[in-house]
Every structure is written in structure tokens, then in C-alpha cells.
Amino acid sequence: MRKCIARRAYWASLLAICIVLLVRPDSAQAAEASRIGDASGKLITVPTHVSRIVSLAPNLTEILCGIGLGEKLVGVSSYSDYPAAVKKLPKVGGFASLNVEVIVSLRPDIAVGTMDGNSETDVAKLRSLGIPVFCVFPKNMKGLMQSIDQLGRLFRREAEAKKLVSNIELVVKRVKRKAERLTRGRGRPRVLIALDIKPVVSATAQTFIGELIEIAGGVNVVGAYGIRYPRLGLETIVASAPDVILVTGHGSRKELLKDLRSWARWREIPAVKNGRVYLLDPDITTRPGPRVAGALMTIQRKLFAK
């Protein structure tokens, strides 16, 4: 009888051990998951081992690729086109109008979003469906650096993030020094940014591109406006007397050039009179991402072109 009881106890113990071993992977994964605060102040539960990422904005796609996470991307926002490899990835809708169904179908471990464009409703919907969404806020240069650092720590790519931030900071310092030299004795050129030209939509100094103008050595003529992206009428533009106009409008280059030719009659505007209206690549100059270094140098060349 005692042998029988001992044998039963042995098999019961063995069964308990097997059960623990069977459930351990899920338990371990839950234990390994960490809760990290994002730019919105929400605590996001993030699994330790992330292999499937969805990017919810073009600039975030560039940042993630810039810190070596391109191979983990399984979906990107509609206008994500750099680097070239991301063009082949499934698109999850515009960053302001995400396709939640497509994102869910891609089974991401996590999605990376922005507070400067993504719909709060879409982000909340994804989170309610069990998809962690980590949001950053690269609304200006400081926010861009913080976002790169946050994503580097989130995905354990601290070294890559630190290198990227250092490279950007180095270019910013060089551009600032050059701006000081170029403006010595001549003052800073007055600059109008035109994100669109039908109607003219500009950007204040509180925006990303507005800050780039200041760093490059220019003075933003709409820097004092109360809203970040004001619409401007012809009278306002004439009164602001910009020395340089930078156009970053989206759409076909042919159509933009056609529209810009119609500006030739506005001879009372210094930039028009002196032929200093320039068309820039909006993807490079308006995205808060790794290509900001190139954007700064391009803008500075236009501001001080002879």
C-alpha cells in the first residue's frame, strides 16, 4: 500500500513539473514584458523580443531604419518611401487616417506612432485591440533628438541612436557656425516658407521647418503668428517682404512650377523681383528624421545663394 501511495505521489509530482514547463514560455514572456512611458505619458507594455514593427508615419520609418530596425518593419504608412526598401512593404494608410484592419492583419508586436499627426482615435483603437502603440513627439529639433533616443532605448539600439543623434548635432553646429559667418555685417535674410501655394500655407518658428530656417541663418517672416500653420493672403505676403521664398508643396513638380510662374507679376515682393523663389523636396525638408542634416545644408545654400 505504501509503495502504491509513494508511486502515485511520484507521478503527481512529475505531472505538476510537466505542467509548469508547458506554461513557462508564456509566463516568461509576460514576465519579460516591460511597461515604458511614451511621449503621451501613457505606460505601454512592450515585449522584450520584438520582431514585427509597424511604423505609422514616414519620418518614423526613416528613424527606425536609421537605427538599424529596417528588417523588423512589416508595415509602414502610405507615404513612407525612404529608404527605397520600405516602398515594398505593406501600407497601413495615411498617418492621419490609419487603416486599423490592415495593421491588425500584420500581427505587429508593436506600432510606433507620432503625436504630431496620428489620430488619437486610431491609436486608441489599436491599443484596445491589444497592439501596443509607442508614441513619440518630434515636433522640433529637440523633440527629434528625444524621439531617436527614446526609440533607441525602447528597441535596445542605444548605440545606433546615440551615433545618429551625434551626427545630426555635428551638422547643426557646423551650419550654425557658417550662418554666423555668412550673416556677419549683412544681416539675416527674411524667409517665407510655403508648404502649399493654393492657398499659401506657411509655417511659424514653432514648427520643425521653421526652426530649420532659424538654424540655417534666416528670419522666418511669420514667426510671430499664434498658429503653427497660418494661411496667408497676398497682402500679408507683400507686407512681410521676404528676401527668399522656399516652396515645399506636395504634388507634381510640373504643376508647382506652373503655379510659381504665375507669381512673376508680384514684383513688389523682393524674393520674386530678385528671382529667389526656390522649390525644395518636401520629403527631405519637412520630415523630422535622419535626413535633417541634408535639409539644413540645402536650406542654407538657398538662403545665401549669390
Class of domain 184-303: alpha beta
| Residue 44 β-bridge partners | 36
* Continuous segment of H or E residues that includes residue 1: none
- In a 10 Å sphere around its CB, with 0-12 CB exposed, 13-18 middle and 19+ buried, how is residue 33 labelled? middle
Which positions ≥6 away from 61 have C-beta within 8 Å? 55, 73, 76, 77, 80, 82, 86
The pTM for the full model equals 0.86
Q: Which CATH number fits domain 31-156: 3.40.50.1980, 1.10.150.530, 1.10.260.40, 1.10.460.10?
A: 3.40.50.1980
Residue 9 pLDDT greater than 70, yes or no: no
pLDDT at 265: 78
Q: Are 73 and 90 in contact (CB under 8 A)?
A: no
Listed in sequence order, the DSSP H helices in 43-157 are: 58-66, 100-105, 120-128, 141-154
Q: How far is CA 42 from CA 31, 168, 198, 293, in A?
A: 20, 28, 39, 31
**What are the cell numbers at 45?**
507594455
The per-residue pLDDT for 106 is 98
Q: Give yes or no for a contact between 118 and 124, defined as CB atoms under 8 angstroms apart.
A: no
Query: What confidence score (pLDDT) does residue 125 get?
Result: 96
Best CA proximity match to 194, nearest among 261, 282, 117, 267: 282
Answer yes or no: are the C-beta atoms of 40 and 30 closer than 8 Å: no
pLDDT band, residue 16 (cuts 50/70/90): very low
What pLDDT is stored for residue 251 in this prediction?
A: 64
**Burial (CB count <10 Å: 0-12, 13-18, 19+), residue 88:** exposed
> Confidence band (pLDDT; 50, 70, 90) for 32?
low
The radius of gyration computed from the CA coordinates of the chain, to the nearest angstrom, equals: 26
Look at residue 34 in the predicted model and tell me its pLDDT. 81
Round to whole Å and give the CA distance between 32 and 73.
22
Average pLDDT on 83-90 reads: 97
Which spans in 184-281 are helix H? Answer: 208-216, 234-240, 253-261, 270-273
Within 8 A by CB and 6+ apart from 45, the residues are 33, 34, 35, 132
From-to residues of CATH 3.40.50.1980 in the chain: 31-156, 184-303
